[in-house]
A = this chain, B = another copy of it.
Amino acid sequence: MHYTEYTKEEAASRLAEAEKKHESQIALGLSLDLSRGKPAPEQLDLSQPMLSLAEWQDDAGVDCRNYGMPFGLAEMRRFWASVTGIPAERIIVGGNSSLQMMYETLTRAMLFGVAGSKEPWCKIEKRKFLCPAPGYDRHFRVTETLGFELVTVPMTQDGPDMDAVEELVKDPTVRGMWCVPKYSNPTGVTYSDETVTRIAAMETAAPDFTVMWDNAYAVHDFVEDGDHLLDVFSVAEKYGHEDRFFYFSSTSKITFPGAGVAMMSMSERNLAKVKPLICAETIGPDKLNQLRHLAFLPNKEALTAQMKRHAEYIRPKFDTLLAILERELSDAGYAQWTRPSGGYFVSMEVPDGCAKRVWDLCREAGLTLTDAGASFPYGRDPKDSNLRLAPTFCSLADMTPAAEILTTSVKIAALERLLA
């Protein structure tokens, strides 16, 4: 029976039961955390051998300790080509932060425009950016910082609601859109072929409409047959819209979040604009860290094996969390949640107006969740119903008490609201 069909007495009795359980959870004095999309220490240990690889010359004998090679080592560009399917000469390898490459890309657009721009974006008084939500808070913050109005687009099972997007891009002040096309943060959704095609094909009022294509979870499957994502540049070329896409990825969740190797790619026309700017901006990325990565992950097989080892740690945590959500919340329909095949998050929908209350209840019992609303532009979830769950950093042993605190809290919030 769905919980909303409970009699008042039954609801009150179940609420009392949940509150009692909550009290006992508080009494345990736990300190648990499902808030951060961070790999666990045991995942980081997988890459520990990389740290002792004191390589300093590339295949061509270049001394990588010295200045030079502003777009990264040829081998590292080929590594990324093998991961992304993009030609190596269209890949620029950066430092340790793909977020920084995204910020820099938008900063360049602000000051110099992109291919097709009539003027630098800073000249556009009212500029807007589409934010599929729930989405990644740090993306939204970048465009907010740069003075864009953030326009929420609902996420569906197939990616952003393309009917809404196609309508919104008729506004010429809408300059672009954020996308995490595979195992999207936080829903875990991979964009369908139709969604990718519609994003590539659509006509936009802004001649320089820009899609920030953050393929952060390109190889981050934790099931045998992971999701498949269309090659966006191939599709875009069919429609003559290859200038629209700036593609990003990194090894942050392959090796080390704080010391990985980030990359970006873009059309030939955008490369011609961006490369000279990069040469003015920096003496080049840390090539020694690239060599370390190449020695540790010399080919696609090594990468696949590494991602399998990650999956062995990650999957049981997702399985445990999802099993407890299923057992506790499914029958009575207290909440809905996603069941991704990869990535770092589960997205949960609790009854409207309950997300903040669930967050507070969890906190009381020692469980930290990502701030309610964090996955929405300006940190405001209009329905106050979404919670982002990040199972990877928590130990497997802690997952059961964490999930039980969470499910108890969801029940309390939902029943309180029902009885209010």
Contacts and interface: CB of A to CB of B under 8 A. Distances in A.
Interface of A: 36, 38-39, 41, 44, 47-48, 51-52, 54, 56, 63-68, 95-97, 99-100, 103, 107, 110-111, 120, 122, 138, 141-142, 144-147, 252, 256-259, 277, 280-289
Contact of A287 (B103, B142, B259): B259
B283 A252 contact: yes
Contact of A65 (B97, B100, B256): B256
A15 B141 CA distance: 67
Contacts of A52: 52, 54
Nearest to A39: B66
B258 A99 contact: no
A99 B67 CA distance: 12
Contacts of A281: 99-100, 103, 142, 145
Contact of A289 (B44, B259, B283): B259
A66 B257 contact: yes
Nearest to A282: B100
B283 A259 contact: no
A95 B286 contact: yes
23 contacts: A41-B63, A44-B56, A48-B56, A51-B54, A51-B56, A52-B52, A66-B257, A66-B258, A95-B95, A95-B286, A96-B286, A97-B283, A100-B282, A103-B282, A107-B107, A142-B281, A145-B277, A145-B281, A252-B283, A256-B288, A257-B283, A258-B284, A286-B289
A371 to B, nearest CB: 15
A90 to B, nearest CB: 22
Given A99-B283, A256-B288, 14 more contacts: A44-B56, A52-B54, A64-B259, A66-B256, A67-B252, A67-B258, A95-B96, A95-B286, A99-B282, A100-B281, A111-B122, A138-B283, A258-B284, A258-B288
Nearest to A70: B97
A145 B107 CA distance: 13
Most buried by B among A63, A257, A283, A286: A283
Contacts of A107: 107, 111
Most buried by B among A38, A39, A63: A63
Most buried by B among A56, A120, A259: A259
Contacts of A122: 110-111, 120, 122
Contacts of A48: 54, 56
A264 to B, nearest CB: 14
Contacts of A282: 97, 99-100, 103
A310 to B, nearest CB: 14
Contacts of A36: 67
Contacts of A44: 56, 63, 65-66
A67 B41 CA distance: 12
A258 B280 contact: no
Contacts of A111: 107, 110-111, 122, 146-147
Contacts of A258: 64-68, 283-284, 286-288
A65 B285 CA distance: 18
A66 B260 CA distance: 10
A12 B342 CA distance: 80
B38 A284 contact: no
Contact of A259 (B138, B144, B288): B288
Nearest to A41: B63
A287 B259 CA distance: 7
A286 B251 CA distance: 13
